[in-house]
């Protein structure tokens, strides 16, 4: 491992062998006719987009998915040639660059179809578009009432050589709550909207609706492609669904810092801004050089767990912008000792789920918010993609 000087303070290690194992574990859950899209939006959920994208492709993902076109174009700029789809378009976004970069571009409404058609005329080549149906999420996507008009306009543009409709797709609202009635209801609506579009003449290469929780628990949602994000990073979509281990997944990120200072303080000493923590006796304090600017939730003040010197310690008092303090209960550790905030849990360290609970949020938010000041250290990178030498799924 190469330690830059920034990584001496703190680092997020990203275990790409674990990521490849997770991709294989997820592939083993879907049928042979179902492709896997590695969702790498938001800097691969904070794990570092390009190395993660490469590792996912090495392990058998054949599509990559991003939210914004800028993220998708960054994958192309890095030399990635797989299918890449992006779904969060804003008026004025770079449709023409997307066409020239062979992106699959989601279209949820008429404004987007108009912009992509105009760009295709300028580029003198058809755009790959995927029509998104709002089957009940109530977020992006085309409402069933507006679907006939969107399908008709897309088919007209296809006949004119301006677009190729490569996919029909949707997204779940509550797939992380097994048995939630909206899951079956959304599948019914999706089947109807697919049937309508296909009857009109759309011949989609891929139909897809499953995110990680649906990939793990709703087999009838897999269709031609599953879009997995969080599970690929070895994190369970929700603690109610199970642990990563229950699904044969291994957490990919380990966040740690080097203890910056250890000192003895008397009882009754206030700790950090606002003095929300008072030492109840003479004790030792350890300074951890990570703060809310690094993505450590201020909401976890007084609660977040850290493994230091062989024991779990809790954040003492408030998380500050760049640092927080733990009460070492009289133990002494050497400055420079590694403090592990979260990791796979193999060595007794907390997990990202423990932090999500401490901050009253979801693990997705913890990993995606790790700040740019924290170097990502990628382990297990395979410079030349060769045959799998990593372990099998499971
Ligand atoms: C983020 C996202 C996903 C991946 O969701 P996970 O729960 O992380 O698997 C899939 N599809 C869309 C449209 C998304 O925005």
Closest-CA residue, ligand 1 atom 13, reads: 171
Residue 46 C-alpha to ligand 1 middle, in angstroms?
14
Dihedrals phi, psi of 79, to nearest 5 degrees: 95, 10
Ligand 1 centroid–CA 323 distance in Å is 32
At 165-218, the pLDDT tens digits run 999 999 999 999 999 999 999 999 999 999 999 999 999 999 999 999 999 999
Q: How far is the CA of 228 from the centre of ligand 1 (A)?
A: 6
Q: What DSSP character marks residue 393?
A: P
The pLDDT value given to residue 6: 80
Cβ(193)–Cβ(144) below 8 Å: yes
Q: Tell how far the Cα of 105 is from the centroid of ligand 1, in angstroms.
A: 15
CA 272 to chain centre: 32
DSSP letters of 326-337? EE-TT----TT-
Nearest C-alpha neighbor of 209 from the set 182, 227, 196, 191: 227
DSSP 130-148: EEEB-SS--SSSB-GGGHH
Q: Which atom of ligand 1 is nearest the CA belonging to 230?
A: 8
Report the alpha-carbon distance of residue 258 to residue 262 in Å, rounded.
11
Identify the pLDDT of residue 393: 47
Choice from 229, 230, 364 to test ligand 1 binding pocket (greatest atom count within 8 A of CB): 229
Q: Specify the 3-state DSSP secondary structure of 389.
A: coil
User: Residues with beta carbon inside 6 Å of ligand 1?
Assistant: 39, 41, 87, 171, 211-212, 227-231, 237
* Rounded distance from Cα 227 to ligand 1 centre (Å): 6
Query: How far is it, in rounded angstroms, from Cα 327 to Cα 348?
Result: 18
Q: Which atom of ligand 1 is nearest to the CA of 211?
A: 9
Q: What is the pTM of this model?
A: 0.95
Positive or negative: CA dihedral 228, 229, 233, 238: negative
43, 211, 367, best to mutate for ligand 1 pocket (most atoms within 8 Å of CB): 211
CA–CA dist 271, 279 (Å, integer): 8
State the closest ligand 1 atom to the C-alpha of 171, by its place in the atom list counted from 1: 13
With the most atoms of ligand 1 within 8 angstroms of its CB, the residue from 25, 47, 65, 186 to mutate is 65
pLDDT value at residue 383: 65
* CATH no. for 31-232: 3.20.20.10
Of 142, 134, 70, 133, give the one whose Cα is nearest residue 103: 70
Per-residue pLDDT at 314: 97
Amino acid 276: pLDDT:
97
Sites in the chain below the pLDDT cut of 50: 1-2, 385-388, 391-394
CATH number corresponding to 253-379: 2.40.37.10
Contact, 257 vs 35, CB < 8 A? no
Among residues 51, 59, 62, the alpha carbon closest in space to that of 388 is found at 59
What is the domain partition of the chain in residue ranges? 31-232, 253-379
Catalytic annotation present for 41: yes
Backbone φ and ψ of 33, nearest 5°: -90, 5
- 45, 132, 273, 277: the active-site residue: 273
In degrees, rounded to 5, the angle at the alpha carbon of residue 13 between the alpha carbons of residues 217 and 11 is 130
List CB contacts of 212: < 8 A, sequence separation 6 or more: 228, 229, 230, 231, 232, 237
């Amino acid at each position: 491992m190469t330690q830059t000087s920034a990584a001496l303070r703190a680092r997020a290690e990203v275990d790409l062998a674990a990521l490849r194992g997770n991709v294989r574990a997820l592939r083993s859950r879907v049928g042979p006719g179902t492709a896997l899209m590695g969702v790498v939006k938001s800097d691969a959920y904070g794990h570092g987009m390009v190395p993660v994208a490469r590792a996912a492709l090495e392990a058998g993902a054949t599509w990559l998915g991003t939210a914004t076109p800028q993220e998708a174009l960054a994958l192309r700029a890095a030399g990635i040639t797989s299918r890449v789809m992006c779904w969060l378009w804003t008026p004025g976004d770079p449709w023409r660059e997307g066409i020239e970069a062979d992106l699959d571009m989601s279209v949820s409404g008429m404004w987007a179809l108009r912009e992509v058609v105009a760009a295709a005329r300028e580029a003198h080549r058809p755009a790959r578009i995927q029509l998104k149906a709002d089957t009940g999420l109530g977020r992006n996507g085309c409402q069933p009432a507006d679907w006939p008009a969107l399908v008709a306009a897309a088919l007209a543009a296809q006949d004119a050589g301006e677009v190729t409709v490569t996919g029909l797709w949707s997204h779940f609202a509550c797939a992380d709550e097994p048995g939630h009635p909206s899951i079956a209801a959304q599948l019914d609506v999706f089947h109807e909207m697919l049937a309508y579009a296909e009857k009109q003449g759309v011949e989609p290469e891929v139909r897809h609706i499953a995110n990680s929780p649906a990939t793990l628990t709703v087999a009838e949602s897999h269709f031609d492609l599953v879009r997995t994000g969080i599970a690929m990073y070895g994190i369970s979509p929700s603690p109610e669904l199970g642990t990563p281990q229950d699904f044969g997944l291994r957490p990919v990120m380990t966040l740690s810092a080097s203890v910056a200072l250890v000192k003895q303080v008397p009882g009754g000493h206030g700790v950090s801004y606002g003095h929300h923590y008072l030492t109840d006796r003479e004790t030792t304090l350890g300074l951890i050089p990570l703060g809310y600017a690094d993505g450590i939730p201020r909401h976890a003040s007084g609660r977040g767990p850290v493994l230091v010197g062989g024991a779990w310690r809790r954040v003492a008092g408030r998380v500050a912008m760049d640092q927080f303090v733990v009460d070492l209960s009289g133990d002494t550790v050497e400055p420079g000792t590694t403090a592990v905030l979260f990791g796979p849990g193999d060595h007794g360290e907390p997990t990202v789920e423990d932090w999500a609970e401490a901050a009253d949020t979801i693990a997705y938010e913890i990993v995606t918010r790790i700040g740019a000041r924290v170097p990502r250290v990628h382990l297990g990178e395979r410079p030349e993609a060769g045959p799998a030498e990593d372990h099998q799924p499971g």
